[in-house]
Amino acid sequence: MGNIVTFLTACISLLFVASTTAPAAADDLTERGAYLVNTVMACGNCHTPMGPQGPDMSRALSGGLEFDTPGFHVTASNLTPHDTGLGSWSDEEIKRALVEGRRPDGSALAPIMPTSFYKVLTPRDLDAIVAYLRTLPPVDRKVPAPEYAGDPPPAFPGAEAPIAEEDQGADPVRKGFYLVTIAHCMECHTDWEADGPPAIGAGGRPLPGPWGVSISANITNDPHAGLGEWTDEEIVRAVTAGVSRDGRALLPPMGYPFYAGISPDDLAAMVAYLRTVPSTH
Ligand code: HEC
Ligand code: HEC
């Protein structure tokens, strides 16, 4: 009797192993996509509608903020698998929008969508993002049609091509550059309108919104203007909890609640990279 039970148990565990091998790989991919979309890349900071209490998570990623600027008037799109969202887009079409900034009909996305930072994405991370977006509950929500007639933005310096996983594994600074790039930190932390070549990471960009106008900080390694004298813990606290070195609560639109979910290893790599960003003063 004992032997039969053992035998049956062995068969069941064999079946279990056999039947879970393939889905396990898919689960890993979806999990990686959820991690990227909901923490490092903070897609919901733009693509989730804002309710009176903050982001309305019951309609997560179904379309969000409206951006009305002299160059374009667009609304962050519905990314859920509904007909009013990405339901009819192929995987390749979604990836093309992310790295080339173009829709299936060839029209360009306004440069507020951070496609210039997404060309570094590895093929696996692109697959992961798409796999995760496919698992979202479909939400019926049509956002207003975009008004933009320009081209997609050029690639961010150093982000022209994917950075291979092996290169990231071999060097925390390289991995940190990858993560800081896909988190589009430097988009806000650079004053692109200033005269001369852009001082990457030196901050000074005004960001208006319902909170008033916040001015992005200098996050280079400069000892006075930047993070040069901050401890690693102080930098991590600012990014994940929105608290400055002196204890002041930091203003939006930086996505602190999203970044709070970044893994300790990834945060360490991001800090390692920020330590190498040259002082611009
Ligand atoms: C800074 C805000 C912002 C962030 C962060 C952001 N997006 Fe967008 N995204 C937009 C806006 C705004 C548009 C609409 C642009 C337009 O219509 O020209 C857009 C458009 C898109 C489109 C095109 C959809 C369509 O129907 O045309 C896709 C796909 C997309 N985003 C996916 C993502 C994903 C995935 C992430 C995270 C990895 C992300 N976005 C992060 C603002 C953002
Ligand atoms: C959407 C724009 C935006 C993005 C994206 C963004 N930030 Fe910020 N960040 C800001 C603004 C604005 C402030 C200043 C807020 C204030 O002073 O109240 C700030 C403040 C900070 C501070 C505190 C500096 C200080 O002197 O108090 C650090 C550190 C920081 N950001 C790092 C990062 C990193 C690292 C990333 C990417 C993971 C990032 N930020 C992404 C807009 C942004």
Peptide bond into 257 cis (omega under 30): no
In the chain, where the domains are located: 25-158, 163-281
Token pair in block for residue 114: 């951070």
In words, the CATH class of domain 163-281 is: mainly alpha
Q: Which residues line ligand 1 (CB under 6 A)?
A: 37, 41-43, 45-47, 67, 74, 76-77, 79, 94, 97, 103, 109-110, 112-114, 129, 146, 148
Nearest CA to ligand 1 atom 14: 76
257 alpha-carbon distance from chain centroid: 13
pLDDT one-digit tens code per residue, 6-29: 433 444 444 444 444 567 788 999
Residue 265 has pLDDT above 50, yes or no: yes
Instruction: Select from 165, 163, 194 the least CA-distant residue to 181.
Output: 163
Distance (angstroms) between ligand 1 centre and the Cα of 66 equals 11
User: What is residue 16's predicted lDDT score, i.e. its pLDDT?
Assistant: 43
pLDDT of 19 reads 46
Say if CB 165 and CB 122 are below 8 A apart. Answer: yes
What's the pLDDT score for residue 21? 53
CA of 20 to the centre of ligand 1 (A): 34
Instruction: Give the model's pLDDT for residue 53.
Output: 78
Is the Cβ–Cβ distance between 126 and 99 less than 8 Å?
A: yes
In angstroms, the CA 16 to CA 252 distance is: 47
CA of 76 to the centre of ligand 1 (A): 5
The per-residue pLDDT for 209 is: 86
CA dist., res. 99 & res. 105, Å (int): 15
- Residue 101's pLDDT is 97
CA–CA separation, 51 and 61 (whole Å): 13
If you measure from the C-alpha of residue 174 to the centroid of ligand 2, how many angstroms do you get, rounded to a whole number?
Answer: 21
| Per-residue model confidence (pLDDT) at position 18 | 43
Confidence at residue 210, expressed as pLDDT on a 0 to 100 scale: 85
Is the C-beta atom of 238 inside 6 A of ligand 2? yes
User: What is the rounded CA–CA span in Å between residue 170 and residue 33?
Assistant: 22
- Please answer whether residues 137 and 80 qualify as being in contact, where contact means their C-beta atoms are separated by less than 8 angstroms: yes
- Taking only the tens place, the pLDDT of each residue in 169-221 is 989 999 999 999 999 999 999 999 999 889 999 999 999 988 899 999 999 99
Residue 222 pLDDT greater than 50, yes or no: yes
pTM of the model: 0.92
